[in-house]
Structure 1
Amino acid sequence: MTIATENLTFNDNYARIHFDARPSGYILISIAEQFWNQIANSYGLNNLHHSQFWYLPQPSTMNYQRFYLIAIASIATHFYATFGFAKIALADSQPDLPIQTTKNTAPKNFVAQGTEIFLNGKTLNIPWGQWQVGNSVRLGISDTALDRQLGVELFNNSNYLTQPVDWYATDRARKISLTAKLSRQYRYLDITDIAKSSGWKWQISGNKLQLNTPATKVVDVRHDKIPKNGKITVILDRATPWKLSQTPTEGYLTIEAIADPKLLAQFNAPAPTVDANLDPDDDPTAQKLEYKVTSSKNQTIVQFPIVKGQRARAKLLSPTTLEVTINSNLAAIPDREIKWAPGLKWRQKWVKLGVNNFPVTYLEIDPRQQGIKIRPMLALEPNLVGTNHLIKFAPTTQVVAAINGGYFNRNNRMLLGALKRDGKWLSSPILNRGAIGWNDKGKIQIARVKMQETLTTSTGDRLQILTLNSAYVQAGLGRYTAAWGSTYAPMQANELIFTVQQDRVTQITPSNAIGSVIFEIPTNGYLLALRGQPELAGKLSIGTSLSLQRQITPPEFDTYSQIIAAGPWLVRSSQIVLDAQGENFGANFSKESAVRSAIANTANGNIILVAVHNRAGGKGPTLAEMAQLMQQMGVVDALNLDGGSSTSIYLGGQLIDRASATAARVHNAIGISLEP
C-alpha cells in the first residue's frame, strides 16, 4: 500500500484513488469490476451495477486510510448521481453526516434535484437543485419558497437570470443579487454564498436536502399596539430563516432560533388589554386571541391576533432586526414585478377602484414565446371526477405555474362546464356560460359557448344529447365517455343506462337509486344516461346503430385546441359585458363580496391569470367590481373563474397569492409549462 500526500494517488490490486481537477474538492475513484462484485456479494447488494468512475469529497484531514474505507463503503451502497460522480457531501467544510444510500435521479444540467428540505430536523416541501459551474457545485432553492418560507424577500428584476433579494444585509441600501437557474418546473436562486457566509451546512439524501443552520438566539421580542395597527420587533444574534403566515384572525412568525426561558415568561402571561377604540365591526374573536411566544427544537414562534381587514408584513430592518407590522395600509403588500422566465412575469400591485384598494396578484404570459404551453389541468389526472389542492397536483403535471379553473360540484367533486384539451372535448358547456379558448399560436377568444350533440338512429330518429361528461343533471340524455373515468355511477334515481359500443346499442340496464349500480364505460364507445322522458327509451333498443353529430356555437370556437369554461364573461373589447343572470348565475352570487380570480388577454396579446383578494380594510370584490378592476388593468377581454377559497395562483412550487393552508380543493386548473 502506497500513499503520496502530494497530488494524492493510492493504488492497490482493487482500486485507484486520486485527486481530480473537476469538480473541485472531490476525489475520483476507479474501482475494478471484480472487486466491485466482491463487495456487492459481501453486502448482499447483487442488484447494484458496477460503475468505473466515482467521485467522493476530498477529506478534511489527511487520514486517507480511513477515507479509503469510507469511500469503498459509499460505493458499495451505490450512491450514484447523474454525471457519474457520487456525493456524500458538498465540500470539505461540510458536517460529518451519515453516508447516503438513496439515488438521486437529477435531469440533464443538474447534479441533483429534490422537493423536500429537512431544515434543522423539520421536513418542508421546498424544491431545491444542484448544478455545476466550472469547478464549483452550486446549491439553489426555489425562489418562491425562499420568499414564502425562508424569509428571503424578492425585489423587482430586469432579467430572469438574476434576482435582487434582501437577506440580513449589513448595508441596508444595497441589495444582494442572486443568480437564477430555470428547470422545467422551478426557478432556483443560487444561495451557495449566502449559505456559506451564514454558516449553513447541507447534505443530499435522495431527493431530500438536509440543511442545518447555526444555533441562533432570540435576544428580545417587543410589541406595540397589538392587535390593531401594531408592530412586533424581534432582535436576533445572527441571520436565520424565518416565515410569516396568517389567517383572517391571527398571525404566526416562525423563526429558526431559540429564545431564553426568561424571555418567554414575559410574553406568555394573559393577553394584553384590547384597545378600547377598536371599530364596532372588528372581529370580536380576533380581539380575544392571545399574543404569545413559544420556543422549542431550535424554533421560536410568535403568535399574535389580527383584526379583520388588516394584514401582517415582515421585513428586515438590520442584520439582526426583524419587524412585523400589522395594519390595513397599502405597504402591507408591496408592488412586485419579477421576470420569472422568458415570456412569464410575476406581478403584484394595488388597484384603486373609487375609494377602495384591492390587492391584485397575477401572472403575465406571452403565449407566443417559444416553449410556453398553456393547457387545462385535472386534479386527478386523467379522470374527470375528483378534487385536490392545486399546490399538490400542479407539481405532478410538470407545470411551472397554474391558476384554479372552472366550476364543479363540491359534493360529488364533478365538473360543471366546458373543458377541451389538446383538441379533444372532455366536457360540454352548460347554461350559456362564458368560456375561453386558445391555440398554440397565441390566438385567444372568450365567448358564451353552446354544444349540441345529436344521435341519429338507424331508423332515422334524431335524439338530442343534453350534456357530455357533466355533473349538470337534467331530464333527457347525458353522454359519458372514457374521459369521465373507467366507470359511471347514476346521479339520479331511476336512470336508464344504455351501453354503446362501436356505434351500436349493446346493453340496456335500469338503475333504481343514486349510485346503486356502477357501470363500466366502454373504451370503444360510451354510456347514455336517460333521465325521465321514457318515450326516448323505445328509440334505443339493443342493436340500434347510432351516428353522432356535434355543433358548437359560435362555430369558430371549435377550432381552438384548449377551452375552459367558468363565467360570467366580464369584459369584451375593453367594455364591461357582465350579465350574470344571462349566464344563469344567482342574484346572491353576483352581489357577494368575495375573493375572485380571472383570466384575461391584453392589448399586446398576452394572457394574464389574476387573483384579487380582500380590499384594504374590507372584503373582496363583487362581480361588478371584478369587471371594473379588469377594465382598470387595461385588459381587452376577461372571464371570471371559480373564486372564493378556490382562488389560488401557483408558481414554482408555492402559492403566491395566499397561504396554502387557506386554499380549498379544486377540480381543474389552467397550467403553464416551459418546454424545451
Structure 2
Amino acid sequence: MYISRLFGTSLAGFIFSLLFLIGGLSSNVVSAHPASTELHLGNSGLEEVRETEEIAPGVTYTHIERGHHSKHEVYTVNVSLVETREESKDLSKKLKADGYQPYVTQIKDNKYNDIETKRIAYLVRVGEYQEEEQARQLESQLEQDGYSSASTTFTAFDGTKTDGPWSVNIIEVDPDTFQGKIISALAQGVVQGKERVTDISDRTGALAAVNGGYFVVGSRDGTPGKLAGVSMVEGELVSEAVSDRTSLVFTESEAADIAEVATEIKAESSDGAATTHDGMNRKPGLIRSCGGTGGDEPTEEPRHDVTCTDDSELILYKPVFGGETPAGDGLEVVLDTDGQVIEVRDRGGAIPENGTVIAGTGEEIAWLEAHAQPGMTVDVTETLVVDGEKVATDEVESVVNGGPRLIENGEISIHSADEGFYWGTNFLYNFAIKRHPRTLAGIKENGNLLFVTVDGRADNSIGVNFLESAKLMKSLGAVEAMNLDGGGSSTMAVGSELVNQPSDSSGERPVGDAIVILPD
C-alpha cells in the first residue's frame, strides 16, 4: 500500500512537504498530487488524504477523505417545501403570527439537468442550532402547533455550498491488465433474494464488490429483492427494463458500456397468434418505478420510487425466480424447455427446472386460454434495445440497472426528468438535490472502469447530490458515468471486508444484486 496526500495550501501541507524533504516520512509516501487530480467536491484547495492499494494486477482500491465541516452549517427545522415565492411568504407570515421566526432558502436546479425551470422551490425553515437536540425540540413544538410536515435537518445535507467532509471509496479496473471478469450477481442467486454485499462478495470469491441496481424492498411494491429495472446475470435476462433508463452493460467480449437499455419480451403461439409480455419474475400488477407497457396506471413513463399498477398482465417466470410463482387470481401455463405447454393451472405453483411459466391476469387470461393450451407451443423471445439498436441477449453477459446518466461523451449531462427522477418537486429536491450516500459507475477514456461509493448522512461524510456525483466522476477521469442504487444500499467490499460506512442505523443493508470483480 502507498499513501498520497493532497493538502492544498494548508498548514498540514507545509508540514507534509517539510517532513518529506528532510526524510521524515518513509519512502513509500509520495508528494502531493498535481492539482488536476483534486476531487471536484467543495471549494478548491480543501485538504485530502488518499490511500491506494493494488488488490490484484489491474485492480486498485483507493480511499479518500476530503474537506471539513463548515462553521455556517447548522441544524434547522424544515417546515415545508413550496413551489412559489408567494406560498413561502404566506407560510412565513403564518409562522410569525404563531410566534416563530422563519426564513426561506431558495432551491435551484443546475444547468446540466434536463429540466426547463431552474428555480425549483422554496424551503420555509425555522431555527438555527449547533446541537441537533435543540432542533428536535423545536420540531416537536411546531408539530404540536399543527405544522405536521416539520422535520429536523442538517444544512450540510442541502445542495448548497459546503466544504464537506466526504469519505470516498474507489475501485478502478484496467481491463487490459486485469485477468478476471466483472459480472452482476443476484443476491442468494435468485430473483427473490436479498443479501449483503459483503456476503455476496464472499460467496462468489470476489476481489471486490459494490451494490448494483434499484430493487424492490417490501412486498407492497412487488416481489422483494426483484430488480426494479433491467437485469441480466450470466447471460440470462432476469428482469425487464424501466422504460429505457441508463444501465451498465457488460458484453461477451468483456467490454463495458453505459447506455440506454430497454427490453422486449414477446410470445408467439404455434397457431400464429403473438403478444407482448408486461414483465418477468415479479408479482403481476405491481410495476416498481413504472416505465412499463400496456395500460399501467398512473403512467407508462418512468417514475422513480413509485409503484404503478396494471390488473391485466402477462408475466414470464424462470427457474431463477426461485421456487414457486406467486399465488393469486388468474391463470398459468407451464412450458417445457421446447416451449410446449405441459400444464394449465390456477396461479401459484412450481417452476420446472428446465422450463418456464407464463402467468396471466385480467383480460390477458383470454390470450392464454385461446393460444396456450396443452399440445400447443409458445415461443418466447427476449430482446435488448441498447441505445435504440436491437441486440440479441446472447451477446451480453450482464446488465445492471440504475439511473440517471451523469456524464455523456465527456460532458456532464444529467438525465433526471427523462429517467423519472423529476415527477414532483418534493421528490426531485429530496432525491436529486439533497446530499445522500451514492454508488456510481464510470468509464474512463482509456477504457478503465470506475466503481465509486460516497458515504453520507454521517458526521464524517455528508454525501453528494446528482451534480456533485457527476463532477466527482469527471474529476476521476470518467467520460461516461451513471448513478446506481444509493442511500442505505451504498456498499463497497474488498474481499469480504466492508470498506465504507453504510448509512442505515442497522448497518449493512441486504440488496438485490451486486457488481462483483472476480479473479481469473
TM-score (normalised: structure 2)? 0.61
Aligned partner of 1:401: which letter?
A
Q: For each residue in 1:19-38, what CA deviation from the matched residue of structure 2 results, as whole angstroms up to 9, or x when unmatched?
A: xxxxxxxxxxxxxxxxxxxx
Aligned equivalent of 2:114: none
Aligned equivalent of 1:347: 62
Confirm whether residue 532 of structure 1 aligns to residue 344 of structure 2.
no
Q: For each residue in 1:589-625, what CA deviation from the matched residue of structure 2 results, as whole angstroms up to 9, or x when unmatched?
A: 3344210001111111100110012398873222233
Which of 434, 452, 470 is the equivalent residue of 2:264?
452
Which of 317, 320, 334 is the equivalent residue of 1:483?
320
Which of 318, 330, 334 is the equivalent residue of 1:495?
330
Which of 378, 390, 393 is the equivalent residue of 2:197?
390
Aligned partner of 1:403: which letter?
V
Which of 363, 374, 385 is the equivalent residue of 1:542?
374
Gaps of 5+ in 2: 5-21, 29-44, 68-159, 219-223, 288-309
> In the superposition, relative to structure 1, how do residues 346 and 557 fare at CA in structure 2: closer, same or farther (>3 Å)?
farther
Distance in 1, matches of 2:176 and 2:461, equals 38
Which of 426, 430, 443 is the equivalent residue of 1:601?
443
Aligned partner of 1:397: which letter?
T
Aligned equivalent of 1:568: 404
Gaps of 5+ in 1: 1-153, 158-170, 178-328, 512-517
Aligned equivalent of 1:669: 514
Distance in 1, matches of 2:27 and 2:467, equals 42
Which of 376, 384, 393 is the equivalent residue of 1:552?
384
Cα offset, 1:509, TM superposition: 2.3
- SS of 1:547's partner is strand
RMSD over aligned CA atoms reads 3.0
Confirm whether residue 463 of structure 1 aligns to residue 275 of structure 2.
yes
Cα offset, 1:666, TM superposition: 1.0
Distance in 1, matches of 2:272 and 2:230, equals 29
Aligned length: 348
Q: For each residue in 1:539-581, what CA deviation from the matched residue of structure 2 results, as whole angstroms up to 9, or x when unmatched?
A: 2333332122333212247433222112222211112332233
> In the superposition, relative to structure 1, how do residues 366 and 481 fare at CA in structure 2: closer, same or farther (>3 Å)?
same
Higher relative contact order by CA 8 Å / sep ≥ 6: 1 or 2? 2
Are 1:380 and 1:386, in contact at CA under 8 Å, matched by a contact in 2?
yes
Which of 374, 377, 386 is the equivalent residue of 2:182?
374
Alignment of 1:558-637 (within 5 A): 558=393, 559-585=395-421, 586-587=423-424, 588=427, 589-614=431-456, 619-637=462-480
Are 1:409 and 1:416, in contact at CA under 8 Å, matched by a contact in 2?
yes
Distance in 1, matches of 2:195 and 2:186, equals 9
Aligned partner of 2:445: which letter?
A
Higher helix fraction (1 or 2)? 2
Are 2:261 and 2:384, in contact at CA under 8 Å, matched by a contact in 1?
yes
Q: For each residue in 1:295-348, what CA deviation from the matched residue of structure 2 results, as whole angstroms up to 9, or x when unmatched?
A: xxxxxxxxxxxxxxxxxxxxxxxxxxxxxxxxxx966x7212222221011113
Alignment of 1:165-564 (within 5 A): 173=24, 175=26, 334-349=49-64, 355-357=162-164, 358-381=166-189, 383-411=190-218, 412-439=224-251, 441-470=253-282, 473=287, 474=310, 475-490=312-327, 493-501=328-336, 502-511=338-347, 518-533=348-363, 534-539=365-370, 540-554=372-386, 555-556=390-391, 558=393, 559-564=395-400
> In the superposition, relative to structure 1, how do residues 535 and 391 fare at CA in structure 2: closer, same or farther (>3 Å)?
same
Cα offset, 1:640, TM superposition: 0.9
Cα offset, 1:634, TM superposition: 2.5
Distance in 1, matches of 2:341 and 2:399, equals 30
Identity fraction in percent: 23
Cα offset, 1:631, TM superposition: 2.5
Distance in 2, matches of 1:439 and 1:330, equals 39
Distance in 1, matches of 2:51 and 2:475, equals 18
Cα offset, 1:457, TM superposition: 1.0
Distance in 1, matches of 2:401 and 2:435, equals 22
> In the superposition, relative to structure 1, how do residues 524 and 379 fare at CA in structure 2: closer, same or farther (>3 Å)?
closer
Cα offset, 1:451, TM superposition: 1.2
Are 2:207 and 2:518, in contact at CA under 8 Å, matched by a contact in 1?
yes
Distance in 1, matches of 2:355 and 2:180, equals 34
Aligned partner of 1:402: which letter?
A
